[in-house]
Structure 1
Amino acid sequence: MGGMPSRELGGRPSFHDTRDLTPFRGAQVYAPVRGIGRRLAQRVTGRTRAPRLRPFASKVEKQVHAAVFAHAEPERLVVIARAYPSWSGLCYVMAGLQAYRSHHHSQAAELLARGLAGTSEPAAAAFAIQYLGAVRHWIEVSDGVEVEVLFSEEAVCLALAHSLREVGRPDEALAVLAPLPPSMPTALASCHLAEVLGRPHDVVAWTEGLANASDLAAALLVLRARALRELGRRADALAAVREALRRRRTAFAVKNSAATERALLMLGVGRRRRGAASAPSSAFDELRALTQARRARDTAARELWLKDFEDLERGAGE
């Protein structure tokens, strides 16, 4: 089982972010059925007004500015990247983010990877700082969970990881996230990828000590409960589910997933621990005991009703 030491700084868990300022601005948790309307609303409201170019801007600055803010065609930025190799890193990254916004994940993965591997001269870096700092992107970090991220290395890597996951390359996606600093969105994306790769031990290790302080944390707790159930640790899985359901303002979609996980635990679905293959889980024992008690009460009530009915008939006959 492989670990991820780059996200355990000083022994802190992978979700513990100590930075004063982060590029993350919001999160959305949605049910798959309602995802289309939510994406349309975000596309309309998430646009950023184009900042005005400085006087006497260079030709390449004007071209990149127009390609980023006036058009949504990645091909324009690709052409600029080929014409100005010293700007290729920035141009490929922005082209990849435009392709990602249009859900063209194969193209986005290729362009974002080129951008991260490309070069950018100081003028390109200054352009990014001056004009792109307020650009926001909605990026999916797990099924039904998206975060709003300002233009940054984390935005690029999270978008690349999602695109790689969509095209069936989760191992490469997990490697892309490894250098990022600890944060809740990165931890959620990493744990989702670890689940896809069949690594429940990693999910459990990366979520140790997690509390339900936000919707992202609650979604991460659901992944933790699922991994614990897969490992046969049902009591710990139930504890994670209870924590995911504890906060009243937790998103309904996350609560629904947690309730489904609790039902699977109560039914005894999942791997059993070695040496206890024939013994039912404690959760299933509890469910069976409750069912038997309810049936006993129903039987007693029915017998009492029949006795009263017979007494009434006997009294009427006399």
Structure 2
Amino acid sequence: MDNQDDIREFLVSRRARITPQQAGLPVYGTNRRVPGLRREEVALLAGVSIVYYTQLERGKMSGVSESVLDAIARALQLDDAEHSHLFDLARAANTSPRARRRPAHKIRPGLQQVLDALTDAPAFIRNGRLDILAVNQLGRALYAPHFDTPHRPVNIARFNFLDPRAHDFYPSWDAAADTSVAILRTEAGRDPYDKSLSDLIGELSTRSEAFRTRWAAHNVRLHHTGAKAFHHPAVGDLPLDFEALAAPSDPGLTLTIYTAPTGTPAHDNLRLLASWAATHFPHDHPDLART
């Protein structure tokens, strides 16, 4: 298995969205057979030969330098997430499957202690496949519909695309769906050899047209901070802010914490959620084991 198709499709999709005018190139005539830049125009902008750029676009990135990747990123006007994704694709193309470090699936006790210490904010730890691997009591309560399924590990993308309740749970479902796919696409760029990720993508592609359409777009996104809206079945609307923090000692894991400003209806509803959680999930951590 390699990632040549992903490299090709990503580069083709990025140059298709940029017109010569946007790139600052002159246009002669109107008989253009491509919607965006031609390969030779990208090569010109990046300062490489058309033969070399064509090889790169075919997915042959063995030995490509960082300076060339930076030049291509500038030519294609990639944003920060896309720039990182291009480097991930190149790195994966130059790394054997055996040499790649697999992220841990088990959560260290110290990380669970951090989660449990966050008593006023929903929090959970996920991997790049959007599996929820650990959660605190309030996070368990927030994501209650996700846990109300037989699938383990609990997976946010699977809920988004395969559970009909997702459209009620996420008032801005399209945005939530876009984000899920962008995170999965980013993870696939980092490690195309992750069988669990490939299996998940295959399942979602087979069962969800909405997922297939988004996956084919090759969009990626940095997901570090922002806002997300929920409609919880027990307490109603919860528009929350979030911070997503990488765990340096546990590569591939992300700690996500949700908060709401004091005095807002969302903050009041978080307090209601805490009371609801104390009743429904008073002691035990949920079963997050793999099946």
Is TM (by shorter chain) over 0.5?
no
- TM-score bucket (shorter structure): under 0.3
Structure with more strand by fraction: 2
The normalised TM-score by structure 1 is: 0.23
Structure with more helix by fraction: 1
RCO comparison, higher one (Cα < 8 Å, 6+): 2
Choose 1 or 2 for highest CA Rg.
Answer: 1
The normalised TM-score by structure 2 is: 0.25
